[in-house]
Structure 1
Amino acid sequence: MGHIEHSAAGRAPVDFTFAYVADYRNVPKWLFGIRHYTPVGEQTSGVGAVFDTAVQLGPTTLHLRVEIVEWEDGATITLHAVKGIEGTVRWRFEAVDQDTTEIGVVVDYRVPGGLAGRALDKILRTFVEPAIRHTEKSLREQVLAAYGESLDSAPER
């Protein structure tokens, strides 16, 4: 079983950061290796929303179906893979102050046994941790840019 944790702070309010991450249309912009993130059905947020995705990890493309199993507005989103490799990704959002959010991610996964499982685990261990660090950096940059744009387009008071 693989387990990876990472967290970092970014300069945007927690509500804005959560909304940016929760919008499935933004996922391919910041999540490393994502080729697509497509809703299955009409529901696109909250517990029960399901997405098909393809994740490119080096020479391997993982085709997954994930379901949101936990959703607390402004605080937590947890995804569980229901097709593909078994795993869970939990995003946590916490206000450091009114303009800064700490984003944390915990990834837990389990690969099948045998030779194929060991080979897949080796690929995952090689790519997942650097991918998480890249994702966190990209996410901070994307949220900061989107937040800056929202401030620029806000009507003056």
Structure 2
Amino acid sequence: MSEVRHEAVTTAPREKLFAYVDDYKNVPEYMLGVTSFEPTTDVVQGKGSVFAAALKVGPKELKSTVECTEWVENELIKLESVKGFGANTEWAFRDGDEPGTTVLSVVFDFTLPGGLAGKVLGGLIGPFADQAIKHIESKIRTAVEA
């Protein structure tokens, strides 16, 4: 299992930042490489909601089904892979030290397959993850600080 952590401070109110990240329709906009993120249940928000996701990493398209396993409004969203590519995401939101700021902490952890496929994918994921973090922060910041 590999893990990528990132923290950013924004000038957006916590409620606005949380609402943007929490809306599944925004995921392909801010998550680099995500080509689709669609609900597979009638529940489209919060604990128990399930989504089918497709992620393009280089020439490979990875598919995953993720379930929201923890959800606390304006504080936490945790998505865990239940099928396909093993990728989990945790978004945490808290007030910043400076008045009017919000701290967004995100953790991505993923499990690569074994063998040659895992080695090839591992070579793609490292550089992709660094680029993805910069893209995510930029897109979210633009959307919520405007």
TM-score (norm 2): 0.92
- Identify the residue that residue 73 of structure 1 maps to in structure 2: 73
Query: What pairs up with 1:18-33 in 2 under 5 angstroms?
Result: 18-33=18-33
Which amino acid in 2 is paired with 1:51? F
| SS of 1:12 mapped into structure 2 | coil
- How many residues were matched structurally? 145
Deviation at 1:105, TM superposition (A): 0.6
Task: State the Cα RMSD in Å.
Answer: 1.3
Asked if 1 retains the 8 angstrom alpha-carbon contact of 2:64 and 2:86, the reply is no
- Identify the residue that residue 57 of structure 2 maps to in structure 1: 57
Deviation at 1:129, TM superposition (A): 2.1
- Identify the residue that residue 93 of structure 1 maps to in structure 2: 93
- Identify the residue that residue 110 of structure 1 maps to in structure 2: 111
CA–CA distance in structure 2, aligned partners of residues 113 and 6 of structure 1: 26
Q: Which runs of 5+ in 2 are unaligned?
A: none
Asked if 2 retains the 8 angstrom alpha-carbon contact of 1:94 and 1:101, the reply is yes
Asked if 2 retains the 8 angstrom alpha-carbon contact of 1:2 and 1:108, the reply is yes
- Identify the residue that residue 123 of structure 1 maps to in structure 2: 124
Percent same amino acid among aligned pairs?
38
CA–CA distance in structure 2, aligned partners of residues 30 and 87 of structure 1: 17
Deviation at 1:71, TM superposition (A): 0.6
Which amino acid in 2 is paired with 1:120? L
| SS of 1:37 mapped into structure 2 | strand
Asked if 2 retains the 8 angstrom alpha-carbon contact of 1:70 and 1:78, the reply is yes
1:15 maps to 2:4: no
CA–CA distance in structure 1, aligned partners of residues 144 and 83 of structure 2: 29
Q: Which runs of 5+ in 1 are unaligned?
A: 146-157
CA–CA distance in structure 2, aligned partners of residues 44 and 129 of structure 1: 29
Give 1 or 2 for the bigger CA radius of gyration: 1
Deviation at 1:64, TM superposition (A): 1.2
CA–CA distance in structure 1, aligned partners of residues 101 and 58 of structure 2: 33
Deviation at 1:19, TM superposition (A): 1.1
| SS of 2:116 mapped into structure 1 | helix
| SS of 1:41 mapped into structure 2 | coil
Deviation at 1:133, TM superposition (A): 1.9
CA–CA distance in structure 1, aligned partners of residues 40 and 132 of structure 2: 25
1:134 maps to 2:114: no
Asked if 2 retains the 8 angstrom alpha-carbon contact of 1:30 and 1:142, the reply is no
CA–CA distance in structure 2, aligned partners of residues 105 and 60 of structure 1: 24
CA–CA distance in structure 2, aligned partners of residues 69 and 34 of structure 1: 20
